Amino acid sequence: MMEALRRGASGWIAKIFLSLLILSFAVWGVADVFTGYGQRSLARIGATEISPEEFQQAFQQEISMVSRQVGRRLTPEQARSFGLDTRALSRLIGSAAISTHAHDLGLAVPDSDIAAEIRTDPDFKGVTGTFDRAAFNEVLRQNGISESRYFKERKSAEVREQLTDALLEGTVIPKTPVEIVHRYREEQRTINAITLDPEKAAKVPEPDEAKLKGYYEQNKASFVALETRKLNVLLLTTEEAKKLVPVSDEDIRASYDRNPARFNEPEQRRIFQLSFPDLPAAEKAAAELAKAPSFEEGAKILGLKESDYDLGVLTRDQVIDPAIANAAFALEKGKTSAPIAGKFTNVIVHVIDIQPGKQHTFDDVKAQISEQLAIEASGRAIQELHDKVDDERGAGKSLQEIATALKLRFAEIPATDRNGRAPDGKAALDQPEWQTIVRAAFAPGAGIDREAVELQNGYVWIDLAGTTPERQKPYEEVQADVKAQWLAAETKRALAAAAQAIVDKINGGTTVDAVATEQGLKVEASKPFKRLGETPALTQSGVRQVFALAKGKAASVETPDGKSRSIVVVTEVTPAEPPTKEQVEQLSAELNRQYQGDALAEYVSALQARYGVSVNQTVLKRTLGVEQ
């Protein structure tokens, strides 16, 4: 079941949700004009309207997909900061544009074809190799989509795919751009480098009072005490809730006894599989394999490479065909099966490795079950406590009183600026999600809106208890900081000047070795390196400078730590070797994908221009729950 979910999340569900991701870049510039169509419509392209509900669903799908990738649930605020709201709207508009064009062209797919595709879709097959209704329903539930909507979206996606495939089919990348990109990527440079000693190369005299005061006056904006706010904070997180809902040993035991087998680790095997159209072909191949010194050598004789037959590491349940699964899991390590007549194909399997399963006892998994039950209980407790806090807030109680009554965490933040710093420059909050808390505390209307702020693992309530306005720090207060900044700026300027003098000398004909001896520095020779990949101790800017130089020429680059400068001299320029067949194929495929993405973006832009696009910003902001 879980494998079916994983496959489903990467199959047609992903196709529907991600097939038009490239379109995001084509529609980010949609107009914000609202011309009076249905007041509940959020956007429109041509005669097709996008409702707030459709957008909200698409936005939640974007949040879910990215949350799975980063391993934690994003809050709506974080999702907006990442631009997921824009991406969701872009996807909807791009999808609507292509669907509208398909409708105009009279393109359609029969319902019976879509139903047949779903029934035969490997993403929804169970261990028997046939369509599994339970797996199908679970995939839809996990992705928050109804069966009717999935059917409708898959049908629309099929039509769009046929249209875009026809648009992009037959694209061929010319030989010239492939060669240009290959030469650019594969060219190599070798350098000699010397790095200046800041203490010797950039001796800056002590500044007098007049210089420091002049620097202060020119850079006053660097010496401002930001506005600070005093905050009262009530935290309701998973960790806090878990303390209030202890899990008993009886609950843990009961959870284990309900299904002990779910905690066992099944045996896993790395399986090689060769497939054949019929048994005679499989038997002929088996004879060839028997003659070969190894399965891999035999596969080479048959014209196959490892990527063609390596199924990876699988459990018995992950091998869909029972006949193949039984044969593969009956073999000893390193052994090859006789030809197997499977339900869908005829195969020969070879077991390359066996990872034995493990039966876990109650004691082995007690801590794991306890943690799982605590998290489940805390989830329910958080919502109950959230409602209780709001009730107490409505009754006029302070956050500290509520925290005491409900045994929650209360914190008083004497002063924090919008960067989360106290006046002494140290962190003002010790909470992992301090950025969310500070952002809410400094948001417009903070101190008026008493609603909870959603965190990744709970909620926080913030009361604004006081404000200290921004002020300009007088020179006397920041004299030490002024001096430190002046010295840093002057040292950087002196280093740049000293480095440029050496560059001029080398480019004028002096060898780098002579300069190094004169300066008491060490010459470091690099290995050949390319523009991309592992490079010597250079920043990306430094790499670009190196590849802009002619052989024998020098340039000054900043060191990666920003504390000094290096003088680099190109000692060797190695042009790219002619590309291999594999490199040509790889580059052609890569450039073809880029070309298709550009073509698709242009296509959608043209559809936008044809049908017209408008977004109701009022409805959009209301749907997102942000201020006007």
Query: Which of 129-143, 385-399, 487-501 is least confident?
Result: 129-143
Q: What's the average model confidence in pLDDT over 229-256?
A: 84
CATH class, 2-170+597-624 region: mainly alpha
pLDDT at 448 > cutoff 90: no
Q: What's the average model confidence in pLDDT over 433-453?
A: 77
Fold topology of 265-355: Chitinase A; domain 3 (3.10.50)
Residues 546-569: pLDDT tens digits? Answer: 999 999 999 999 999 989 999 999
pTM for this prediction: 0.54
C-alpha distances (whole Å) from 369 to each of 117, 241, 255, 330, 363 are 40, 17, 7, 33, 10
Q: Are 30 and 615 in contact (CB under 8 A)?
A: yes
Residues 307-330: pLDDT tens digits? Answer: 788 888 888 888 888 889 999 999
- Bridge partners of 455, per DSSP, are 458
pLDDT at 143: 65
Secondary structure of 209-261 as H, E, C letters: HHHHHHHHHHCHHHHEECCEEEEEEEEEEHHHHHHHCCCCHHHHHHHHHHCHH
CA 83 and chain centroid, separation = 13
pLDDT at 29: 40
Q: How far is the C-alpha of 623 from the C-alpha of 42, rounded, in Å?
A: 9
pLDDT at 73 > cutoff 80: no
Q: How far is the C-alpha of 303 from the C-alpha of 298, rounded, in Å?
A: 9
Residues 116-150: pLDDT tens digits? Answer: 788 888 777 765 567 777 777 777 776 667 777 78
CATH class, 188-223+478-574 region: alpha beta
Q: How far is the C-alpha of 96 from the C-alpha of 614, rounded, in Å?
A: 13
- Bridge partners of 312, per DSSP, are 271
With bands split at pLDDT 50, 70 and 90, how would you rate the model's confidence at 496?
very high
Average pLDDT, rounded, for the chain: 83
Q: How far is the C-alpha of 394 from the C-alpha of 405, rounded, in Å?
A: 15
Q: How far is the C-alpha of 432 from the C-alpha of 390, rounded, in Å?
A: 23
